[in-house]
Structure 1
Amino acid sequence: MLILPSRRQFLTGLGASAGLTAATGVYAFDVEPMHRLIVTSYAPALPRWDPALRLRVAVLADFHICEPYMPFDRVAEIVDATNALKPDLVLLLGDYPAGRIAWRKLPLGQFARMMETLRAPLGTHAILGNHDWWDDEAVQSARRGTPAVKRLLEDRGIPVMENAAVRLMKDGRPFWLAGLADQQPFKDTWKDLSYADVPRTLGAITDAAPVILMAHEPDIFAMLPDRVSLTLAGHTHGGQVRLFGRSPAIRKVRGQDYAYGHIVQDGRHMIVSGGFGVSRIPVRLGVPPEIVLLELGRNEIAPAA
């Protein structure tokens, strides 16, 4: 027998549903994007990794500085939390300004000064993202040049890598850090024009030491050779809404889900950070702002594919 709810029960349920919806909205628009900060740790067993090389890497992606969504006190909180992790190396994966979502833009020079306060024995290294190009009006209008944030970071001693590689040492063990130029530098040709040059970047590597590669957009992962031990990417923000392990706002790349997390494809490894900021809409739900912490060399090494 079907038992219908009473009017009072119906109104109580309706009120509870409305309250839950309102609470979810407050959480998604305010609490998660602007107040939560987590550390997401990975200790992947990587192919072509030196088992004697122990490396602790902090990965920071997609700040999108602006008011009210990423003010400088929030950036300072992220810097302090990163320094407390005592990383050997800090990597910045691009998208420093916020774009059209900003109520008020913030000076990138001040942001660069704050990045200078990151502390790691092997330094802080950066790449550029699409918003570093898109939000630089001079570069966009001239269709050439270099985004101002590159100079601002380099003036603070932070190398910005564009299709380049550098050989670093930890405890006498070498590894290569490589960084690709952005794949979507201009708004109106982002599907057709990429500055990323994989052959040039990997051509700068002169020995068999392991390679960590920084690429702002994860899309290029399908094109990378297995010479790269680990690819690091941002850009997606994990979809900003991620529920039940899915990010519905992020399209698949050649049938592969590159939205978030540790991805293994054909024996190659990529970690996509959810980053910190927001874009298009000021919402995060199920993918809180995160510092990615890599503990490399601490697991049994996987065999080469």
Structure 2
Amino acid sequence: MITRRTFLRLAGTAAMSLVSVGAYAGVIEPRFRLVVTRYTLRIPRWTAAHGPMRIAVIADLHACEPWMPPARIAEIVAETNRLAPDLTLLLGDYVTGIGRFSTAEVPIEVWAAALGGLSAPLGVHGVLGNHDCGADVPAIRRAFAAQGITLMENAAQRLATPSGGAAFWLAGLGDQIAWNGRGGRGLDDLPGTLAQVTDDAPVLMMAHEPDIFARMPDRVSLTVSGHTHGGQVRLPFVGSPLVPSHYGQRYVYGHIVEDGKQIVVSGGLGCSLLPVRFGRPPEIVLLDIVGAEDDGRVA
């Protein structure tokens, strides 16, 4: 039989454990942890002639006080630049996603100026997320333009790799779940975006939500997405209980291959709904793209 003293000791230990877990999930992981998640990928149409290319991916900042203040964004920018990417991609949801749990919003001009510190030879390109589409979109467009960041809304741009000089296309979709002003949701135009691709060079597609991947054509060599935050909370033996996707766990996180098509879903950096992260620390995604004929070794 458990004595009263033993019971109180066990109850106290359990209470302290809950407090510790809560402090970690509510303060340490979302605000102070930052990891770099690396993938080395061989993707369709990317040959040895293209040479290797390094892409940094930043998703779901959700700028706000005190969880994602300007100083935290500057830290993320500095770490991203340290990785020396050839191309940096921003996957949307720059504005806060936790509403009443934040003490203050970070003004658009302020977080955009922090992102303006990003540097890559092939430029910094981004799309909007669903939270951004509910904010002052014209102000976001102006702020990005002022910082030299290319905002791609159902647009495609032809670029050349820095090492091989071979061509590839970078495309960016409008948000898939934002109100479209026509009584429904969805600002994305996948056919219209791909219609701008005029040759056989590989296509890299930015799409804030990963659900579009279920109908992404083979013409797209790689899709990169955010939005899910990797579930934001990942529990042992359970996984992520809540995933903002029509497909549940299917596109929650990581490198996914279906029928030869590839997508990488970032776990993101900020928080949505609640200022909590557990088992899914904020991450910068680093993609090293290598050709089918390369040996996969990346400096």
Fold match (TM-score > 0.5): yes
- Cα distance in structure 2, aligned partners of 1:204 and 1:256: 32
- The equivalences for 1:258-269 within 5 A come to 258-269=251-262
Matched, 1:13 2:10: yes
CA RMSD of aligned residues (A): 2.0
SS at match of 1:275: coil
SS at match of 1:43: strand
Which of 46, 53, 74 is equivalent to 1:49?
A: 46
Give the TM-score of the pair, scaled to structure 2.
Answer: 0.90
* 1:180, distance to aligned residue in structure 2 (A): 0.2
* 1:48, distance to aligned residue in structure 2 (A): 2.5
Find the counterpart in structure 1 of residue 201 from structure 2: 209
CA deviation digits over 1:189-233, x for unaligned, max 9?
A: 99x421100111111111111111000011111011011111000
Find the counterpart in structure 2 of residue 79 from structure 1: 77
* Structure 1, 178-187 or 274-283: larger mean CA deviation: 178-187
Find the counterpart in structure 2 of residue 166 from structure 1: 157
SS at match of 2:220: coil
* 1:30, distance to aligned residue in structure 2 (A): 0.1
Residues 1:300 and 1:257: Cα distance change in structure 2 (over 3 Å): farther
Residues 1:251 and 1:97: Cα distance change in structure 2 (over 3 Å): closer
CA deviation digits over 1:62-102, x for unaligned, max 9?
A: 11111111001100100110010000000000111104243
CA deviation digits over 1:110-160, x for unaligned, max 9?
A: 222222211111110011011111123xxxxxxxxx442122101221110
Q: Which amino acid aligns with 1:45?
A: R
- The equivalences for 1:1-305 within 5 A come to 4-53=1-50, 54-99=52-97, 100=99, 101-136=101-136, 146-170=137-161, 171=163, 172-186=165-179, 192-244=184-236, 246-250=239-243, 253-254=246-247, 257-297=250-290
Q: Which amino acid aligns with 1:165?
A: A
Structure 2 unaligned residues grouped into runs of 5+: 295-299
Find the counterpart in structure 2 of residue 140 from structure 1: none
* 1:255, distance to aligned residue in structure 2 (A): 6.6
Q: Which amino acid aligns with 2:251?
A: Y
- Cα distance in structure 1, aligned partners of 2:57 and 2:130: 18
- Cα distance in structure 1, aligned partners of 2:134 and 2:245: 23
CA deviation digits over 1:152-182, x for unaligned, max 9?
A: 1012211100111111111211111100011
SS at match of 2:170: strand
Identity %: 52
SS at match of 2:65: coil
- Cα distance in structure 2, aligned partners of 1:255 and 1:69: 27
Find the counterpart in structure 2 of residue 143 from structure 1: none
- Cα distance in structure 2, aligned partners of 1:38 and 1:14: 34
* 1:278, distance to aligned residue in structure 2 (A): 0.7
CA deviation digits over 1:39-77, x for unaligned, max 9?
A: 000112322222333110000001111111100110010
Report if aligned partners of 2:152, 2:173 keep a CA contact under 8 Å in 1: yes
- Cα distance in structure 2, aligned partners of 1:111 and 1:254: 31
Q: Which amino acid aligns with 2:111?
A: F
SS at match of 2:156: strand
SS at match of 1:9: helix
SS at match of 1:257: helix
Q: Which amino acid aligns with 1:159?
A: T
Report if aligned partners of 1:82, 1:291 keep a CA contact under 8 Å in 2: yes
* 1:257, distance to aligned residue in structure 2 (A): 1.2
Find the counterpart in structure 2 of residue 142 from structure 1: none
Structure 1 unaligned residues grouped into runs of 5+: 137-145
- Cα distance in structure 1, aligned partners of 2:170 and 2:116: 19
- Cα distance in structure 1, aligned partners of 2:173 and 2:167: 20
- Cα distance in structure 2, aligned partners of 1:229 and 1:164: 16
* Structure 1, 234-243 or 80-89: larger mean CA deviation: 234-243
* Structure 1, 229-238 or 249-258: larger mean CA deviation: 249-258
Aligned residues: 288
Q: Which amino acid aligns with 1:78?
A: I
